[in-house]
Structure 1
């Protein structure tokens, strides 16, 4: 059985130098990390529309994926909505593979070598994250960043769930939220005349005729290659480049590294649109009947460069009343919540009602488990939602106009009246992402959806969700298609209609 020693050996060598106490725990975490990434890769091989896959056959003993060149892969039947470390081996011909990077290398499909390197990085990084994870406690976190630190495994369905190319082991320990660091943010002074500013820029980040733009220390060292003036300490959140200031807002910084699929910079377009998006969000929240709040972008600025830009955003904590807790949906799996079938159905009902109402108004949220937060009562009842980060939503001027809302100042990539694009954005992120991860399996997700269905708003969008396969991003195809910009999509079997044994794994 093969595994890829290079990335793992390099990480172990560096770990021995910078944090030797973690070396044995990291080594022990490697088999589980390989299985976690292999599970996500096998999901893609079983369900994405990969051009070199000719056929798939499910049987009593598993799933066979036949390739166009005549070779065959064999592994367990795949539940596309399941999470965890379920797949420990996949066979290519007669050879068994426990390591996803080695499997992708030997598949030798177009762009496989580069993707295999990312998978190896993901495995090594995930093992490090698990080795340094905080011990689960009986208590509940008190601050917003403590919830984010609990999410150790990253994206629940992306094979690059922990891929951080360009980050050394020392960088990950210094900046990864799961390692619980305190990060020193610095600032770079830029003349006001050379900046694009949206919203209100705070006085503490002004000096004479300059704006002081907060900069992530990794960005300063590796991209800007300049020193910064120390400003404030902060705690990194799940997105890595967004950090929470104690007692203050969240700071979304440019971080020009590829994390999972994307380079995390901030475009001038995003800065320019941020104030108008916050205004639109406030209008929409007023029409949601208390189901949903959207965090405000307080101010945004850029030196007309995606490499030097920043957004200041409210903390979701401000939307929790005394006795309530607000936490990212991605953190639900790390809590002691019972998450019974009734609880999951109530949460699903809340999330889909809010998402469908907002979509009917004209906005499709990218409501995955990182952007979507849930407010819980003292008895853990889900009360309402909070959404953050409007940078990749989709807005329909036609739908908005039908409700008397005009957004003429918003143009560009966020704006579309295409129903397919709008539904993909919401359903792929909310149902195929946040709700699926909270449920943990296809049968649990299907049961929650069916239980919630009678109370959902009857709209054409709901009919489309119920009657069609579920659109989700083709995460592996995107990494194997570097010549194709933007999102690529695939369809998963609808969790509304399939029986439980369809998902046996």
Structure 2
């Protein structure tokens, strides 16, 4: 019986047909892509609270994990905050593995087969993303989507950083932001009486008694199976399903495919709450004294299903002054910021802005999901971080008790967003901001500690800051979450805290 082709071979075969000129670059990128995914996976295996890992020991030769069935998994010691770590192989009972999907297959733990398929596809897709990239050291981008399209490798810590199951090679090239395409959003007409509308849906997306709902072309072809009446040219952002109109707002579309971790539809509850959340965002952003702005949701629509829905959102460029640039924190690694002589000073400035604003809102009762995609920084003409912009309010956590102490009414939002659990609120902010956005920019635990240590000494002494200083740093247990498909919501790992140097 002939074995089915691997994901790497399958993408190579498709690429040879649709873009043969990229095939040599793709083949050359495969070893680096395997190491990049294996590095992320090894980080998860060594730090996530996996139920089948019963012991962990670290010595001069690296890390040894004891598995519940008696096997040993061995690999190098890796800084959990490092973005340039390069794990090329780990050993399972003495056998070396350099392919993350094969390692996960042979671990043979619950749900490992489906996760192995994601890793295989993600590794091949990452190699495709890296193939034929232009030099990021060239002239600085001008428009917001150009910054976003510089982020080639996706999430810096997620093993499925480029997993796009259900996307052919042609579709990845046509829709992936790192390939810098122009995407034609499909306009699908729906009778207005059949639509749930929140906020103001603009006249240019209406036609008589019909609402024109922008749909991602992948969604229109594979899920909705409908042809549209007209199209909008747009530029895909890091989120892939969110796109920037050339001279207008950003459009967040439903995309019923699993990208990285989640199926990207837009729930009816999110549409219904979008206007209320947008207004609430302006209220709480005003409490930061201008340190942070939150983009407004201009309008949202759902046509009876999460599969056909869209949101229109302000572009973050609205918050840039003359000569300023608005850059997603995840894209800072492509700028001069990490490489400049003033690197640590600028990282510290970014950290000061982010922690001051984030902790102020947390004290108020709002925990931001401030990862490197949602959080953007406004850079002055000489590259100094001067203020922040936050977008996408769908994953906020809101504390009614804390809001009440500050006289802020609780908005009418989905129940999943409401909690008074201090631990849950802190995990949401610290896991996304410190272990996510700031760690990904710093690139190592030592750089993160150095950038943060003087900042936290100047912050108001609150219970939230004490937790940040004195407890392990929460980070999403991304590997555990992919191996726990039946468990809803976030799960957390505890990382060594780079800030544990004292709080006095």
Q: Give the alignment's TM-score, normalised by structure 2.
A: 0.97
For 2:358, the equivalent position in structure 1 comes to 355
Structure 1 residue 134 displacement after superposition: 2.2
Q: CA–CA distance in 2 between the matches of 1:486 and 1:159? A: 18
For 1:298, the equivalent position in structure 2 comes to 298
Offset from partner CA, 1:123-174 (integer Å, 9 cap, x none): 0000000003222243110000000110000001000000000001111000
Q: Does 1:489 align with 2:474?
A: no
Q: CA–CA distance in 1 between the matches of 2:280 and 2:368? A: 13
Offset from partner CA, 1:197-248 (integer Å, 9 cap, x none): 1001100111111111111000000000111122210000000000000010
For 1:95, the equivalent position in structure 2 comes to 95
Q: CA–CA distance in 2 between the matches of 1:240 and 1:256? A: 12
Q: Against the structure 1 CA distance between its residues 293 and 176, is the aligned structure 2 distance closer, same or farther, given a 3 Å change threshold?
A: same
Which 10-residue stretch deviates more, 173-182 or 328-337? 328-337
Conserved? CA contact 2:258–2:264, under 8 Å? yes
Conserved? CA contact 2:186–2:215, under 8 Å? yes
Q: 3-state SS of the aligned residue for 2:415?
A: coil
Pairing partner for 1:454 from 430, 452, 457? 457
Structure 1 residue 411 displacement after superposition: 4.1
Offset from partner CA, 1:25-73 (integer Å, 9 cap, x none): 0000000000000000000111000011011110011111111111111
Q: CA–CA distance in 2 between the matches of 1:68 and 1:411? A: 39
Q: CA–CA distance in 1 between the matches of 2:348 and 2:412? A: 39
Q: 3-state SS of the aligned residue for 1:120?
A: helix
Q: CA–CA distance in 2 between the matches of 1:200 and 1:244? A: 18
Q: 3-state SS of the aligned residue for 2:257?
A: strand
Structure 1 residue 408 displacement after superposition: 4.6
Q: CA–CA distance in 2 between the matches of 1:486 and 1:308? A: 23
Structure 1 residue 457 displacement after superposition: 2.5
Q: 3-state SS of the aligned residue for 1:229?
A: coil
For 1:84, the equivalent position in structure 2 comes to 84
For 2:396, the equivalent position in structure 1 comes to 393
Q: 3-state SS of the aligned residue for 1:413?
A: helix
Which 10-residue stretch deviates more, 443-452 or 21-30? 443-452
Q: Give the alignment's TM-score, normalised by structure 1.
A: 0.96
Conserved? CA contact 2:78–2:85, under 8 Å? no
Q: Does 1:116 align with 2:119?
A: no
Q: 3-state SS of the aligned residue for 2:336?
A: coil
For 1:471, the equivalent position in structure 2 comes to 474
Q: CA–CA distance in 2 between the matches of 1:90 and 1:132? A: 29
Q: CA–CA distance in 2 between the matches of 1:74 and 1:20? A: 39
Structure 1 residue 455 displacement after superposition: 1.8
Structure 1 residue 471 displacement after superposition: 1.2
Note the residue ranges of structure 1 that are not aligned, 5 or more in a row.
500-505
Q: Does 1:376 align with 2:379?
A: yes
Q: Does 1:13 align with 2:16?
A: no
Q: Against the structure 1 CA distance between its residues 408 and 295, is the aligned structure 2 distance closer, same or farther, given a 3 Å change threshold?
A: closer
Conserved? CA contact 1:356–1:457, under 8 Å? no
Structure 1 residue 407 displacement after superposition: 2.2
Q: CA–CA distance in 2 between the matches of 1:416 and 1:131? A: 44
Which 10-residue stretch deviates more, 137-146 or 117-126? 137-146
For 2:188, the equivalent position in structure 1 comes to 188
Conserved? CA contact 1:74–1:91, under 8 Å? yes
Q: CA–CA distance in 1 between the matches of 2:344 and 2:412? A: 44
Aligned residues: 496
Offset from partner CA, 1:367-411 (integer Å, 9 cap, x none): 000000000111111100000000111111211121111125234
Q: 1:8-407 to 2 correspondence within 5 Å?
A: 8-337=8-337, 338=340, 340-407=343-410
Q: CA–CA distance in 2 between the matches of 1:387 and 1:18? A: 38
Q: CA–CA distance in 2 between the matches of 1:402 and 1:139? A: 49
Q: 3-state SS of the aligned residue for 1:181?
A: coil
Structure 1 residue 488 displacement after superposition: 1.3
Conserved? CA contact 1:32–1:85, under 8 Å? no
Conserved? CA contact 1:367–1:429, under 8 Å? yes
Note the residue ranges of structure 2 that are not aligned, 5 or more in a row.
none
Q: CA–CA distance in 2 between the matches of 1:427 and 1:384? A: 19
Conserved? CA contact 1:46–1:78, under 8 Å? no
Q: Which runs of 4+ in 1 moved over 3 A?
A: none
Structure 1 residue 440 displacement after superposition: 0.2
Q: CA–CA distance in 1 between the matches of 2:160 and 2:400? A: 35
Conserved? CA contact 1:349–1:455, under 8 Å? no
Q: 3-state SS of the aligned residue for 1:370?
A: coil
Q: CA–CA distance in 2 between the matches of 1:5 and 1:39? A: 24
Conserved? CA contact 2:325–2:381, under 8 Å? yes
Conserved? CA contact 1:134–1:150, under 8 Å? no
Q: CA–CA distance in 2 between the matches of 1:379 and 1:427? A: 29
Q: 3-state SS of the aligned residue for 2:230?
A: strand
Q: CA–CA distance in 2 between the matches of 1:194 and 1:416? A: 33
Structure 1 residue 451 displacement after superposition: 2.0
